[in-house]
Amino acid sequence: EICKIKNVLEVHEISGEWDILLKVKVKNNRELRDLEIEKIGKIQGIKDLASMIAVKTIKDDPRIVI
């Protein structure tokens, strides 16, 4: 269900305090808030959300092969 949201670019299962890490792209803080409350927050099983905003991108290269 999360994968169908247009603003969601990446979905990762992670270990640690949280279970899922999303990379989303939004125009502004209001769009982020709406995305969290109206879309992601309403998905069954989502109990809590935390947001982190990148203020500067040092490197972003999706071509790296692992």
Domains of the chain: 1-66 (3.30.70)
pLDDT digits (tens, 9 = 90+) for 6-53: 999 999 999 999 999 999 999 999 999 999 999 999 999 999 999 999
59: pLDDT strictly greater than 80: yes
The pLDDT score that the predictor gives to residue 65 is 78
Is the distance from CB of 26 to CB of 33 less than 8 angstroms? no
How many of the other CB atoms lie within 10 Å of CB of 22? 17
Total-model pTM: 0.81
For 32, the 3-state DSSP assignment is: helix
Neighbouring residues of 24: CB distance < 8 A, sequence distance ≥ 6: 7, 8, 9, 32, 35
64: pLDDT strictly greater than 80: no
